[in-house]
Amino acid sequence: MADSIPFSKRMNPANLFSHDSDTINLAPGETLFTEGDSGDCMYVLLEGSVDVLVGGKSVEQSERGAILGELALIDQSPRTATIIAKDSAKLAKVDERRFNFLISQNAFFATHVMKVMADRLRHMNKLQAESANS
């Protein structure tokens, strides 16, 4: 039965962090981080929704369970997007030590992070192709 449920519905990172007491709270319109900022952590959206902007253009609206800022955590590169709260948002902060522990102890979490990155790459490729054709 579990195989008939899409992977993204079985694994919601918000469930892993739902009991975090040290969360980040954003008011509507508040920025979590800005494209080009340095980053050493990622975030999991526990409540609310955020806009993901690249080059000032909204490319994604993220909701509960979204992973944000994972690229900067993985390769210590500058942030590739700006994250702005659409409404009140609550996020869990995941530093490198915690991230490495999670991916070593939870294969579903590791696979989910890779799937999120692959989905975003495909989405950005599609947006770029559409922009080139218009």
Q: Which domains does the chain have, with CATH numbers?
A: 2-133 (2.60.120.10)
Percent of the chain with pLDDT strictly greater than 70: 92
For the cut 70, the answer to whether the pLDDT of residue 7 exceeds it is no
CA angle 63, 69, 70 (to 5 degrees): 105
Mean pLDDT of 100-104: 92
pLDDT digits (tens, 9 = 90+) for 39-96: 999 999 999 999 999 999 999 999 999 999 998 888 889 999 999 999 999 999 999 9
Mean pLDDT of 96-109: 91
Query: What is the per-residue pLDDT for 132?
Result: 84
Query: What is the per-residue pLDDT for 64?
Result: 95
More confident residue, 94 or 9: 94
88 to 25, 69, 84: CA distances (angstroms): 7, 19, 10
Average pLDDT, the chain: 88
Residue with tokens 């999991």: 44
Contact 44, 67 (CB under 8 A): yes
pTM of the shown model = 0.84
Query: What is the per-residue pLDDT for 10?
Result: 58
Beta strands at 41-47 and 31-33: parallel, antiparallel or unpaired: unpaired
25 to 40, 117, 131: CA distances (angstroms): 18, 24, 34
